[in-house]
A and B are shown apart, each in its own frame.
Chain A
Amino acid sequence: MDIEKYKFWKKRQDVVEEVVDTLKLNELPLKTVPDYMRRKRGIWYWTGALITIAFVYQVISGLLLLIYYTPSDPYYNTVNVIIDTVPFGALFLASHLYGAYAMIVLIYIHLFRNYFMGAYKKPRRLQWVTGVLLLAITIGVGFFGYSMTGDVLSSDATDVGRGIALSTPILGATLESLVFGNGTSLSLFTHMLSLHIIFTAIIGLLFGLHFFLAEANGMMPSNRKSKYTAPAVDKEDPSYKPWFPYNMAFMVQLALYTFGILIIIPSILMLINGSTVPASATNPPIPPLFSPFPSFAPTSPFAGYVPAYPPWFLLFIYKAVDFQIFTGPMSPLIASTVFGVVPLLYFLLIPFMDGSKDLHPLARPMVTAFGILAVIYMVILSAWGALSPGIPIPPSEVYAVFIPPWVIVVGGMYFLNRMYKQNKFRVTSNKSIASFLLFMFLLIFMVIELAENFSAFMNHTSALNLVSTALAGGATSFVAFGTMKSAQVAEKYQPVKEPKQHVISVNTAVIISAILGIFAVAVIAMISTLNPVGVISEGEFGLGLGGILVISGLIMRLYRAAFYHE
């Protein structure tokens, strides 16, 4: 090796060390984790990190949009200024919307994973409570953000919100003006904007606490270590690799992937949408619930074609308001309390209600059953709301939909629990995969069935009604098999010996990374000439940019595989 080159690398090495030293990267007080969490399927353990990354994206894109938001005429300004004339405005707007959706979906996944794992138990009770609060606040922020565009959907959403607020006894009027302003449009949108930002700031603060607690309590140890008993505390092991550079490289990779995907999805939707407003009012290319852009103005002649949807993540409450089991002037409030506040309180209080030390899902039959029911009901209610928006539902239909899953899941869990206690319940790996496939099949079948026969469903065809709900219920018991199985797998889990050889040969990594690197440079050269204004060219730019981010993540992955053997 010639000496010049050596000196250059040496110098560079010094610079890197200097940076690492200055930033104290190798002294960060962050918890280290076992290798398996960074492996394939390790993503499952990082849902919290994914939410954080999405949150960072939301803050950045949101602050950029804030520069242009105009509460005095939000619809015109959003559609005709931000989307149509601001450079990359359409891309930032659409990706901000989809970043919010991603955050909400990821939070649900994060929540239910920890719920079924029993992670809410001591010593993580406060951590769990802050997490549930974060979910509620995030949904609130989503609602306020959704209401900021001033399109027909946002005005429907704020109207429903006003109705619910006003039906609160005594405090109704105060509450309504507190949230929605004094009734003028300017006051409404100024409130939506400020609440959107204020609650985002609260998310940031509460997240700080949540993250601190997560670091302090450490990760949930594998079930083998914890023996399914709380308190499940992981002791750091000398075999855990240091946070720097191993975990940092992994985090960078995750962030690159996440940012990439957060930009790619809305870009594709923008390309499908093709223009700012959908080409057709009656048959839009993208259903209004998932449109990347605001819908029509409330005053537009097309507004009547758009069903009065709330954002999809509130569809379940919105449908509940249609149930005729709730009557009287306070019915919207009661419906949203029963389907929104009560479940929220349940999740908030579960660490205090379930004081047992059991972590196994089958050892806590009712907790597991309620979790499964929560998922099922939320899915059914949301699909119902999407398919029959605003149509009143007589009580008999409501009971027909709600009772069968309840009976099947609660009953099923009861028996599974007894079998578990007697140690009779043993599943093989094949059986559990089969049960999972069957569950997915039934779930998909149910959704299609529901969609296909919806008119019949609405016409009191209770036979069909029962079939579909029974399917839902039947499917749930398979979830139980699934969790049981995963628990058993975990029980038998042996840490795999550190593979001595490279996971991928260094030469292969070099070649693939070279190809990817050249590709990335070519793409950036290509997209940098695109017009920064225009739905199509911005969509193409987003596609390219997201692609480069994912490619960077891939090269990072190759690096980790080749040199960290991960």
Chain B
Amino acid sequence: MGEESIDSGKRNFLKAMVVISAGAAVAGVLKGVVQNIIPPSSGLSSFPELTLFFNGNPLKYSDIPPSFTGGNIVLFDYPLQSDPNFLLNISNDNKTPAPVEPMSVFIPATGGTYESPGGVGPDNSVVAFSAICQHLGCVPPIIHYYAAGSAAFPTYIHCNCHGSTYDPSRGAKVITGPTTHPLPATILKYDAVTGTFKVVSMTGPTIYGKISDLTGGTPLPEGQTYTDVTTESIQG
């Protein structure tokens, strides 16, 4: 009897050793698998400073009169590829640029505010915002800017997916829901000497669908110091 229980104790000890070392192996495998299936984040570590290019040359103020940014959907990618931003020259009559003041913008979802940078350029009227709707992520042309004089939503950015409306002359603050966040503001810099525009960073809410503005996409080709301004025409 005594013999037997000693034997079974040893038996259990050996079993425990099998379990421990196999457990260690399983732990190692699990660590490998779990870390492996979480994809490494793709993106940048800081906001790049990019010159806005238009048709292969640095964008001039004269390229974007109010009638142009109001009559077309004018976009550029920032900070990553496939992060579209609206470029707008704000005006109340689609002719005369209207300066946009820096102001603090209210976020309905959190009750907080943040500082929106205001317009740049000779008339302090050029602004840029993320062009991805903060409600559920619809992109242009479904969301776009309705120039002054439009039948519906004049001077507003409106999203046809579910009807969110933003006011780009007041930091793209929320005019009507269902969105609860303003459009993130893209910060521009105007160089009066060379007459060129640079895009330098973003502020406000995070771009829709991303953990951070800088990750979750493919960076522009390495070493590229510009981002192209593209246009599509407004239909309907």
Q: Is the CB of B14 within 8 A of A555?
A: yes
Name the one of B5, B7, B13, B22 contacting A552, with C-beta atoms under 8 angstroms.
B22
A556 interface residue (CB < 8 Å to B): yes
A549 interface residue (CB < 8 Å to B): yes
Q: Is the CB of B36 within 8 A of A86?
A: yes
Q: Is the CB of A521 within 8 A of B32?
A: no
How big is the B interface, by class? 20 to 34
Q: Which residue of A lies closest to B41 (CB)?
A: A85
Q: Contact string, A144-181, partner B, CB cutoff 8 A, digits 1/0?
A: 00000000000000000000000000000000000000
Q: Is the CB of A545 within 8 A of B29?
A: yes
Which residues of A sit under 8 angstroms from B211, Cβ to Cβ? none
Give CA–CA (A87, B30) in the complex, Å: 12
Give CA–CA (A548, B25) in the complex, Å: 6
Inter-chain pairs besides A86-B40, A513-B18, A533-B40, 5 sampled, C-beta below 8 Å: A520-B21, A520-B25, A544-B28, A551-B21, A552-B22
Q: Which 7 A-B pairs have the closest CB atoms?
A: A520-B21, A87-B35, A517-B17, A524-B24, A513-B17, A552-B21, A545-B28
Q: Is the CB of B32 within 8 A of A516?
A: no
A506 interface residue (CB < 8 Å to B): yes
Interface segment, one of A88-96, A197-205, A211-219: A88-96
Name the one of A91, A524, A555 contacting B27, with C-beta atoms under 8 angstroms.
A524
Q: Is the CB of B33 within 8 A of A528?
A: no
B12 interface residue (CB < 8 Å to A): yes
Q: Footprint of A on B, CB under 8 Å?
A: 5, 7-8, 10-18, 20-22, 24-25, 27-29, 31-33, 35-40
Q: How far is the CB of A91 from chain B (nearest CB, A)?
A: 7
Which residues of A sit under 8 angstroms from B37, Cβ to Cβ? 64, 67
Q: How far is the CB of A120 from chain B (nearest CB, A)?
A: 37
Instruction: Give 13 A-B contacts (CB < 8 Å), ordered by A residue.
Output: A64-B33, A64-B36, A68-B39, A516-B17, A520-B24, A528-B28, A532-B32, A541-B28, A545-B32, A555-B18, A555-B21, A559-B14, A559-B18
A523 interface residue (CB < 8 Å to B): yes
* Chain B interface helix/strand/loop/mixed: helix
Q: Is the CB of A552 within 8 A of B25?
A: yes
Which residues of A sit under 8 angstroms from B28, Cβ to Cβ? 524, 527-528, 541, 544-545, 548
Q: Which residue of B lies closest to A91 (CB)?
A: B32
Give CA–CA (A523, B14) in the complex, Å: 19
Give CA–CA (A92, B31) in the complex, Å: 13
A1 interface residue (CB < 8 Å to B): yes
Q: Is the CB of B32 within 8 A of A541?
A: yes
Q: Footprint of B on A, CB under 8 Å?
A: 1, 9, 64, 67-68, 81, 85-89, 91-92, 256, 506-507, 509-510, 513-514, 516-517, 520-521, 523-524, 527-528, 532-533, 541, 544-545, 548-549, 551-552, 555-556, 558-559, 562-563
Give CA–CA (A509, B9) in the complex, Å: 13
Q: How far is the CB of A537 from chain B (nearest CB, A)?
A: 12
Q: How far is the CB of B27 from chain A (nearest CB, A)?
A: 6
Which residues of A sit under 8 angstroms from B11, Cβ to Cβ? 506, 562-563
Assuming the contacts A9-B12, A521-B20, A555-B18, asked whether A256 and B33 have C-beta atoms less than 8 A apart, the reply is no
Q: Is the CB of B35 within 8 A of A88?
A: yes
Q: How far is the CB of B35 from chain A (nearest CB, A)?
A: 4
Q: How far is the CB of B22 from chain A (nearest CB, A)?
A: 4
Q: Which residue of A lies closest to B38 (CB)?
A: A87
Q: Which residue of B lies closest to A532 (CB)?
A: B35
Give CA–CA (A121, B184) in the complex, Å: 75
Q: Which residue of A lies closest to B20 (CB)?
A: A517
Q: How far is the CB of B88 from chain A (nearest CB, A)?
A: 34
Q: Is the CB of B14 within 8 A of A509?
A: yes
Residue from B27, B36, B40 having most chain A Cβ neighbours under 10 A: B36
Residue from B7, B18, B21 having most chain A Cβ neighbours under 10 A: B21
Give CA–CA (A91, B29) in the complex, Å: 11
Q: Is the CB of A548 within 8 A of B21?
A: yes
Q: Which residue of B lies closest to A87 (CB)?
A: B35
Q: Which residue of B lies closest to A545 (CB)?
A: B28
Assuming the contacts A523-B24, A549-B25, asked whether A514 and B36 have C-beta atoms less than 8 A apart, the reply is no
Which residues of B sit under 8 angstroms from A533, Cβ to Cβ? 40
Which residues of B sit under 8 angstroms from A532, Cβ to Cβ? 32, 35-36
Assuming the contacts A64-B37, A509-B14, asked whether A521 and B25 have C-beta atoms less than 8 A apart, the reply is no
Name the one of B13, B16, B40 contacting A87, with C-beta atoms under 8 angstroms.
B40
Name the one of B7, B14, B39 contacting A558, with C-beta atoms under 8 angstroms.
B14
Q: How far is the CB of A95 from chain B (nearest CB, A)?
A: 10
Q: Which residue of A lies closest to B27 (CB)?
A: A524
Q: Which residue of A lies closest to B1 (CB)?
A: A1
Q: Which residue of A lies closest to B40 (CB)?
A: A85
Q: Is the CB of A506 within 8 A of B33?
A: no
Which residues of A sit under 8 angstroms from B25, Cβ to Cβ? 256, 520, 524, 545, 548-549, 552
Q: How far is the CB of B17 from chain A (nearest CB, A)?
A: 4
Which residues of B sit under 8 angstroms from A556, Cβ to Cβ? 18
Give CA–CA (A68, B18) in the complex, Å: 34
Which residues of A sit under 8 angstroms from B8, Cβ to Cβ? 9
Which residues of B sit under 8 angstroms from A516, Cβ to Cβ? 17, 21
Name the one of B14, B21, B22, B36 contacting A88, with C-beta atoms under 8 angstroms.
B36
Q: How far is the CB of B38 from chain A (nearest CB, A)?
A: 7
Assuming the contacts A520-B24, A523-B24, A528-B28, asked whether A562 and B14 have C-beta atoms less than 8 A apart, the reply is yes
Q: Which residue of A lies closest to B35 (CB)?
A: A87
Q: How far is the CB of B116 from chain A (nearest CB, A)?
A: 36
Assuming the contacts A544-B28, A548-B28, asked whether A517 and B21 have C-beta atoms less than 8 A apart, the reply is yes
Give CA–CA (A187, B59) in the complex, Å: 39
Q: Is the CB of B12 within 8 A of A513?
A: no
Give CA–CA (A88, B15) in the complex, Å: 31
Which residues of B sit under 8 angstroms from A91, Cβ to Cβ? 32
Q: Which residue of B lies closest to A506 (CB)?
A: B10
